[in-house]
């Protein structure tokens, strides 16, 4: 029994910072995806919406908000939020509806409008029960603080250097030059990256992703529906939205501490290493089968962690792969051929969907200027705070 | 004009200037330790415990990693000084509890003075002040000896 669904269409609104209503970006992405799929809005039977949390009520019901702007036509809807994993959760919902035979064609869409600067906690007042509020009040632990801790750890454990972290940005920016949806399309030099302002040592401004507006969408359908419309559909073969197993030995955003490993045995596979595993298993593929990967470079150092978590190399070896050119365009397994978050900035509910858009374009051979030669399969990965794993395997 | 030294949050640490410690809780069912304190449900999936006793965590550990804030964090962080002065943040590994705890590093110790693996100890320090109170929070500093 297949667990594959077809990606009939993909679409994005470019990433940027305009402060317009997120619905606008969602509608643009949805229309682009439907046009790409050759389906009409009236044919969509299910909408999976990725929520956003900084735009008030309409963001919490993002699926319906975007449907209302497209014009309500009675299709079923579900909206979901899992921080950075939101897009994969939305894909997971749509896929399940299709595989259960409840619908043939679904739209997955996510969009965000973000404030300037650091992400701050949502809502108002004193929220002493909310770890996301307290980490700012008691520590000033912004997101870059966590990234800085992980980066310093890589330097100490594996001998990674500031130059390695800067090289990730340089490598990815070269791809972004050729991506019309990217916000930052400049090819940076090592010197420029290393000269940018320090934010949370050892990470500098050009090594930490911005916060962005943006929207991305997919039209997913059953294998039979795809067969009637295209001879070579791209398929989603695996989706993972796993959570951690207690005890987690790393300090994860927005927490103050790791779990204690004193009383309960730690899991055999650490959370971040488990995320892509489930997607690979469903797809019947392994990391060695991936032509390319789209992973979450919230900081350029984090890309190195993710390369290891998705199994492209052993723990500690990611910088070696980078230095050997393996993860650059032209290398054996390019990572972030879209340009990554460094070139886009983060539009939370749209990001995991955008990762799948990129892999789809790559597999179709439509990634002009940044094409991974002969791309046949790819993996996405990220994680959302409060324990949300996210990974999708896409294949020809 | 003496301000009152007040914990910035209740119950997370013993506000004893001479011998401060972090306060966690331990599940009476399975012995798992939690910081910040867990009072309702034991987060061990194999345990349905709902009873916890307060425990003091180790006050010394090894520096697992460190970084700093070169820019002022957004609210609800309140800077103790204007203009903002960069400060370091430490992640310290406690051996007995086998857990890593974050904390600000005391003023005057920056990333250049820190090294992964160095011994650290818990102290109290100022988080911020208003007209009446000086709010106090736990901080880490390199341990003596």
Interface contact B34, partner A, CB < 8 A: yes
Domain presence at residue B45: no
**CB-based contacts of B74: which residues, under 8 Å, 6+ apart?**
A117, A118, A120, A136, A142
**pTM (2 d.p.):** 0.96
Interface contact B3, partner A, CB < 8 A: no
Here the tokens at position A365 are 């051979």
Domain presence at residue A143: no
Length of chain B: 145
| Closest A-chain CA to B110 | A201
Banded model confidence at residue B1, pLDDT cuts 50, 70, 90: low
Here the tokens at position A319 are 């910088």
What order of strands is seen across the sheet that includes strand A292-295? Answer: A76-80, A46-50, A105-112, A213-221, A5-16, A234-240, A388-395, A377-384, A292-295
> Domain range holding A55?
5-117+208-395
pLDDT of residue A123: 67
Question: Most distant CA pair in chain B: distance in Å?
Answer: 53
What value does the mean pLDDT take over residues B50-56? 98
User: How many independent structural domains does chain A possess?
Assistant: 1
> Domain range holding B131?
59-145
Here the tokens at position A14 are 């470019």
Contacts of A117 in chain B (CB under 8 A): 74
Q: ipTM of this model?
A: 0.97
Q: Residue A336 belongs to a domain with what CATH number?
A: 3.40.47.10
Q: What is the pLDDT of residues A170-199, one digit of tens each?
A: 999 999 999 999 999 999 999 999 999 999
Domain presence at residue B11: no
Here the tokens at position A312 are 């492209």
One DSSP character per residue, A296-348 reads --SBHHHHHHHHHHTTSS-TT-HHHHHHTTTTSTTSSS-B-TT-HHHHH-B-H
Angle ∠(A278,A375,A46) on CA atoms, nearest 5: 55
One DSSP character per residue, A145-203 reads HHHHHHHHHHHHHH---HHHHHHHHHHHHHHHTT-TT-S------HHHHHHSPEEETTE
The reply to whether residue A260 touches residue B32, judged by beta carbons under 8 angstroms, is yes
User: How many independent structural domains does chain B possess?
Assistant: 1
Banded model confidence at residue A1, pLDDT cuts 50, 70, 90: low
pLDDT of residue B145: 56
Distance between CA atoms of residues A353 and A92, nearest Å = 11
pLDDT of residue B3: 87
pLDDT of residue A122: 74
Q: Percent of chain A scored above 90 by pLDDT?
A: 94
Of A3, A4, A40, A15, the C-alpha closest to A355 is A15
Residues forming a β-bridge with A377 = A395
Q: What is the pLDDT of residues A222-250, one digit of tens each?
A: 999 999 998 788 999 999 999 999 999 99
Here the tokens at position A36 are 């790409």
Q: What is the pLDDT of residues A47-92, one digit of tens each?
A: 999 999 999 999 999 999 999 999 999 999 999 999 999 999 999 9
Pairing of strands B87-94, A388-395: unpaired
Spatial contact of A10 and A356, defined as CB atoms under 8 Å apart: yes
What value does the mean pLDDT take over residues A311-320? 98
- CA dihedral sign of residues A90, A96, A99, A105: negative
Interface contact A72, partner B, CB < 8 A: no
- Phi/psi for A362 (5° steps) reads -65, -50
| Closest A-chain CA to B8 | A138
pLDDT of residue A166: 98
Domain presence at residue A202: no
How far apart are the CA of A2 and the nearest CA of chain B, in angstroms? 32
Spatial contact of A206 and A192, defined as CB atoms under 8 Å apart: yes
How far apart are the CA of B66 and the nearest CA of chain A, in angstroms? 5
Domain presence at residue A224: yes
Three-state SS for A28?
Answer: helix
Interface contact A131, partner B, CB < 8 A: yes
Q: How far, rounded to the nearest angstrom, does the alpha carbon of residue A86 sit from its chain's CA centroid?
A: 9
Pairing of strands A292-295, A377-384: parallel
Restricting to B residues 54-113, those with a Cβ less than 8 Å away from any Cβ of A are 64-78, 87, 89, 91, 96-104, 111
Of A344, A294, A296, the C-alpha closest to A112 is A344
How far apart are the CA of A314 and the nearest CA of chain B, in angstroms? 21
One DSSP character per residue, A345-384 reads -B-HHHHHHHHHHHHHHHHHT--TTSPPTT--EEEEEEEE
Of A263, A233, A226, A234, the C-alpha closest to A247 is A263
Q: What is the pLDDT of residues A141-154, one digit of tens each?
A: 999 999 999 999 99
Banded model confidence at residue A125, pLDDT cuts 50, 70, 90: confident
Spatial contact of A229 and A114, defined as CB atoms under 8 Å apart: no
Here the contacts of B69-74 (C-beta below 8 Å, separation 24 or greater) are: B69/A140, B69/A142, B69/A145, B69/A200, B70/A197, B70/A198, B70/A199, B70/A200, B70/A201, B71/A118, B71/A199, B72/A140, B73/A118, B73/A136, B73/A140, B73/A141, B73/A142, B74/A117, B74/A118, B74/A120, B74/A136, B74/A142
Domain presence at residue B12: no
């Amino acid at each position: 029994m297949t667990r594959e669904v077809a990606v009939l269409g993909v679409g994005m609104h470019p990433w940027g910072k305009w402060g317009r209503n997120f619905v606008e970006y969602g509608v643009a992405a949805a229309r682009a995806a439907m046009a790409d799929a050759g389906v009409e809005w009236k044919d969509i039977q299910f909408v999976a919406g990725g929520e956003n949390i900084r735009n008030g009520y309409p963001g919490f019901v993002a699926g319906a908000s975007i449907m209302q702007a497209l014009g309500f036509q009675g299709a079923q809807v579900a909206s979901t939020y899992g921080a950075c994993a939101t897009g994969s959760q939305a894909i997971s919902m749509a896929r399940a509806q299709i595989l259960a035979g409840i619908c043939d064609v679904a739209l997955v869409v996510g969009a965000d409008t973000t404030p300037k600067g650091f992400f701050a906690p949502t809502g108002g007042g004193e929220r002493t029960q909310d770890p996301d509020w307290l980490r700012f009040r008691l520590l000033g632990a912004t997101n870059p603080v966590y990234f800085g801790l992980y980066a310093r750890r890589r330097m100490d454990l594996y001998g990674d250097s500031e130059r390695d972290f800067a090289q990730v940005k340089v490598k990815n920016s070269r791809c972004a030059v050729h991506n019309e949806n990217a916000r930052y399309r400049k090819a940076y030099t090592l010197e420029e990256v290393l000269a940018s302002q320090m934010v949370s040592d050892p990470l500098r401004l050009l090594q930490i992703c911005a916060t962005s507006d943006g929207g991305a969408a997919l039209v997913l359908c059953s294998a039979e529906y795809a067969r009637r419309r295209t001879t070579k559909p791209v398929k989603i073969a695996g989706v993972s939205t796993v959570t951690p197993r207690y005890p987690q030995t790393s300090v994860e955003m927005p927490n103050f501490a790791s779990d204690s490993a004193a009383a309960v045995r730690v899991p055999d596979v650490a959370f971040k290493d488990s995320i892509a595993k489930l997607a690979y298993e469903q797809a019947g593929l392994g990391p060695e089968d991936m032509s390319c990967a789209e992973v979450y470079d919230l900081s350029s150092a984090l890309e190195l962690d993710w390369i290891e978590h998705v199994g492209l190399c052993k723990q500690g070896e990611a910088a070696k792969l980078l230095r050997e050119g393996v993860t650059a365009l032209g290398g054996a397994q390019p990572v972030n051929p879209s340009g990554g978050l460094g070139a886009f900035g983060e539009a939370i509910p749209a990001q995991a969907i955008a990762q799948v858009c990129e892999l789809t374009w790559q597999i179709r051979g439509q990634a002009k200027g940044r094409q991974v030669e002969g791309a046949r399969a790819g993996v996405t990965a990220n994680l959302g705070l409060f324990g949300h794993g996210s990974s999708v395997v896409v294949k020809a | 004009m003496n301000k009152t030294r007040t914990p910035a949050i209740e119950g997370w640490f013993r506000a004893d200037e001479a011998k401060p410690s972090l306060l966690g809780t331990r599940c009476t069912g399975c012995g798992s330790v939690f910081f910040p304190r867990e009072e309702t449900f034991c987060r061990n999936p194999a345990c349905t415990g709902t009873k916890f006793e307060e425990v003091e965590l180790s006050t010394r550990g090894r520096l697992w990693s460190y970084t700093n804030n070169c820019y002022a964090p957004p609210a609800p962080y309140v800077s103790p000084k204007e203009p903002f002065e960069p400060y370091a943040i430490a992640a310290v590994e406690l051996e007995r509890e086998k857990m890593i705890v974050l904390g600000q590093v005391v003023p005057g110790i920056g990333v250049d003075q820190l090294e992964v693996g160095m011994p650290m100890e818990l102290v109290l320090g100022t988080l911020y002040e208003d007209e009446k109170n000086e709010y106090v929070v736990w901080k880490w500093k390199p341990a003596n000896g």
